[in-house]
Amino acid sequence: MNGKPLVYLDSAASAQKPRAVIDALTAAMEGSYANVHRGLHTLANETTEAFEAARETVARYLNATSADQIVWTRGGTEAINLVAAGVGQSLQPGDEILVSQMEHHSNIVPWHMLRERHGAVLKWIPVKDDGTLDMEAYAELLGPKTRVVAVTHMSNVLGTLNPVADIVRLAHAAGARVLVDGCQGAVHADPDVQAMGCDWYVLTGHKLFGPTAIGALYGTAEALESLPPYQGGGEMIQSVSEDRVTYAKPPQRFEAGTPPILEAIGLGAALTWYSTYDRAAVQAHEAALLERVRERLSGLNWLTEIGTAPGKGAIFTFTVDGAHAHDIAQIMDRYGVAVRAGLHCAEPLATRFGLTSSTRASFALYNTVEDADAFAAALIKAREFFV
């Protein structure tokens, strides 16, 4: 990249794809492809089997009790919108939705829409200076009008890993349901939905080394059954007549039309590939890379790390005194280092920390110690442009 070895540190935005995923997509397109479920010929049956096998793979990955708890979506954003739209059908003016200050816009804007259209009240769980969630303030915010708590498993900016099981326990005691945005946590943490006890859990394929335009919504049987259909069309019905329609049970109730067949197969291949690695070993490797960066950059008075929560994921977000985040990212690109700059789709969090932008390096299992060293060296060189 620009004459330098590529150091890709933008996996929090989208991960690179392993050969296993590329090969699975190619094989599905070249060797056995047709529409799913409704055909009776061999290609349709083979494709349906591969498509539903991918659903089973997602269920195992999340430790769901049944594949029927997995709904295919176009990504994490659509999955959250699906839940929000369903909740909105029974929402009463004054009902409260709790979101944290560290949420991605995808877990903020759908709830704002319920505020605008249905009179919901948004309440914000504050973030402490180190990037941890203020659990005492959260407990005080819960009340008899709380309908939904929407929180991220892992912050895409801070790397903070939230105590989801505790968040769920308190919410359920108040009679509220919990949606967890697992778009980062499903990759870098332990997305055990039974251990967390959440009502809904969202993931996206492209951050999990799979294709774009595919995601999944997990829900308990009760939580999914409580939601009305999100879109209308084929597949999501039991029967249709001129004066009546009856709907299928979850997950088909929420999968109108031809689904993302190839993308689902690709995500299944990605999770199968990723599951060959020991999750604890991957987390330890990523944590070691973050600590390597911190060691190489320690003592630099012009550098500020944003988010220092204990046990955080391998995300290093920072500002450089006297330099704009976009300029830092562009200069680092000259040295072959790919990082992200801006608000990271988390404006309330940026406001909380008094930032107009920041630069983010995010690590994944394919990054190396050499990558960490190259990042630190490129950042120091980039800063020299502003001295």
Q: Which residues are known to be catalytic?
A: 345
CA proximity to 225, closest of 365, 356, 71, 11: 71
Q: Count of CB atoms within 10 A of residue 292's CB?
A: 19
Q: Bridge partners of 73? A: 215
- Report DSSP letters for 227-255, one per residue: SPPSS-SSSSEEEE-SS-EEEPPTTGGG-
Residue 29's contacts (CB-CB under 8 Å, 6 or more residues apart) are 262
C-alpha span between 204 and 53 (Å, rounded): 17
Contact yes or no for 264/54 (Cβ under 8 A): yes
Q: What does the block give as tokens for 41?
A: 């010929």
C-alpha span between 255 and 32 (Å, rounded): 22
Beta strand 337-338 with 7-8 is parallel
C-alpha span between 143 and 141 (Å, rounded): 6
Contact yes or no for 157/345 (Cβ under 8 A): no
Q: What does the block give as tokens for 296?
A: 């190489």
Cα 353 to chain centroid distance, Å, stands at 22
Burial 90-109 (b: 16+ CB within 10 A, else e): ebeeebbbbbbbbbbebbbe
Sign of CA dihedral 19, 55, 155, 107: positive
CA proximity to 217, closest of 196, 198, 201, 236: 201
C-alpha span between 52 and 26 (Å, rounded): 18
- Provide the residue count of the chain: 387
Q: What does the block give as tokens for 155?
A: 């912050």
